[in-house]
Structure 1
Amino acid sequence: MPSNAKVFIHYGPYEACGLVHHRKTRLEGLDTVLTQDGHTVEKVEVPDRNVVQLWVNGEMVFSCDIRDLDYGGDGDLDELCHKARDAVQKAF
């Protein structure tokens, strides 16, 4: 995949402190890792709870539980961010 791919991050709400909301704080590291590789990232809220999906060229290339991503940070130490970056690089 070229380094200038358009990546859509579909993310659902999750529970924190007893409230269920769409939150972007767990996506910061994922966003940083993908933009450092030169990709354009767009976040899309979806109704499915606890889900993160990466879509490239209309194809879902990666999926995980949003609660498994590190809270905040730059994604360098988050193994799931590296797996997601590899999935985007292998997309065609």
Structure 2
Amino acid sequence: MPNNAKVFIHYGPYEAAGIVDHRESRLKGLQAILKKDGHTVELVKAEDWNSVELNVNGEQVFKCDINDLDYGSDGELDSLCIKARDAVKKAY
């Protein structure tokens, strides 16, 4: 995949402190690592609780539970962020 791919991150609400809402704090590392590779990232709110899906060219290339992503990280040490980056690189 070229370095300038447009990556759509579909993310659902999750519960924190007893409140269910769409939050982007667990997506910071994912966004950072993809932008560092030169990709354009667009966040899209989804209805599925606890889900994160990466879509490139209309194809889902990665999926995980949002609670498994590191909170507020830069993505460099988060193994899921690294797997997501690799999945985007392999997308066609």
Q: TM-score, normalised by structure 1?
A: 0.99
| Deviation string, structure 1 residues 51-73 (Cα, Å, up to 9, x no partner) | 00000000000000000000001
Separation of aligned partners in 2, 1:73 and 1:88 = 19
Letter in 1 for 2:55: W
Separation of aligned partners in 2, 1:81 and 1:90 = 14
Q: How much does 1:38 deviate?
A: 0.1
| Deviation string, structure 1 residues 24-53 (Cα, Å, up to 9, x no partner) | 000000000000000000000001100000
| Secondary structure of 1:31's aligned partner | helix
Letter in 2 for 1:35: K
| Secondary structure of 1:54's aligned partner | strand
In structure 2, list runs of 5 or more residues that go unmatched. Answer: none
Q: Which residue in the other structure is 2:79 paired with? A: 79
- After superposing on structure 2, the runs of 4+ consecutive aligned residues of structure 1 that deviate more than 3 Å are none
In structure 1, list runs of 5 or more residues that go unmatched. Answer: none
Separation of aligned partners in 2, 1:66 and 1:73 = 13
Separation of aligned partners in 2, 1:60 and 1:20 = 25
Q: Which residue in the other structure is 2:12 paired with? A: 12
Separation of aligned partners in 1, 2:56 and 2:34 = 12
Separation of aligned partners in 2, 1:82 and 1:74 = 11
Separation of aligned partners in 2, 1:88 and 1:75 = 15
Q: TM-score, normalised by structure 2?
A: 0.99
CA RMSD of aligned residues (A): 0.3
